[in-house]
Structure 1
Amino acid sequence: MMEMILSIGIGVFAASGVWLILRPRTYQVIIGLSLISYAVNLFIFSMGRVRIDAPPILQPDVPGDPAALADPIPQALVLTAIVIGFAMTALFLVVLLAARGRTGTDHVDGREPE
């Protein structure tokens, strides 16, 4: 059941992100890119096996069973992607504000529809 909810969430984020990327305003494009990055982060996180109540590290004096542990690699990749995504969003917002100040509009092509 948990896998189905996660799959639906990834699909909703990805579909909403694609729909927003196709919008004519730059702010909507930035939010769409963020939603797609959230979908990709959830997908990467789900590749580390969705486990509930699994210890992330080995306990002292307990034999290690890799099947009983959570995989730390996808978690580290997602954490890195979150930091990079935040920096890219900040950069995109600065470019958005500069382009809006220079052109006077926030349309992707730089012109208001006639």
Structure 2
Amino acid sequence: MIELLVNRWAYVTFIILMVTGLYIMVASPNLVKKVIGLNLFQSAVFLFFIASAYVEGGSPPIVPPDGGGGPYVSPLPHVIVLTAIVVGVSLTAVALALIVRIYEEYGTLDEAVLREVADD
């Protein structure tokens, strides 16, 4: 079991980050903390994509002129993660802008209080 944890540390970190982010999103009544939890969850997904794309002894996907080479690493997961980072930053910016507007309008960031105000 210890050897599995040592060899697959990226997956263990992925699980810890994902569970922590999900817990923060579900358990916290504060909207800013929910956005932080979402960012942790997104980071866990990024780590999973990069860790799963690892190829033991892999080389860059540039074929030499002689046609030789070993197993190649796919660049697709890295490109997907870069795109997801840009989308994640944009999502965070929009969410925080909405949170600022909500606070200016209602004077609170507590989800329960906002639901009570919305029901009135």
Q: TM-score range by the shorter chain?
A: 0.7 to 0.9
| Shift >3 Å, 4+ stretches | 51-54
TM-score, structure 1 as length reference: 0.83
The 5 Å alignment of 1:60-99 reads 60-65=64-69, 68-99=71-102
Checking the alignment, whether the CA contact within 8 Å between 1:17 and 1:32 is kept in structure 2 is: yes
Q: Does 1:36 align with 2:41?
A: yes
The 5 Å alignment of 1:1-114 reads 3-22=7-26, 23-48=28-53, 50-51=54-55, 54-65=58-69, 68-111=71-114
Question: Aligned-pair distance for 1:41?
Answer: 1.3
Give unpaired runs (5+ residues) of structure 1: none
Question: Aligned-pair distance for 1:54?
Answer: 3.5
Name the CA distance, whole Å, in 2 between partners of 1:83 and 1:3: 30
Q: Using a 3 Å threshold, how does the CA distance of structure 1 residues 26 and 64 change in structure 2: closer, same or farther?
A: farther
Give unpaired runs (5+ residues) of structure 2: 115-120
Name the % identity. 25
TM-score, structure 2 as length reference: 0.79
Deviation sequence 1:49-101 (CA, Å, 0-9, x none)? x2366332315324255x52111111111111000000000000000111011
Which structure's residues are more often helix, by fraction?
A: 2
Checking the alignment, whether the CA contact within 8 Å between 1:58 and 1:64 is kept in structure 2 is: no
* Count of equivalent residues: 109
Name the CA distance, whole Å, in 1 between partners of 2:37 and 2:104: 22
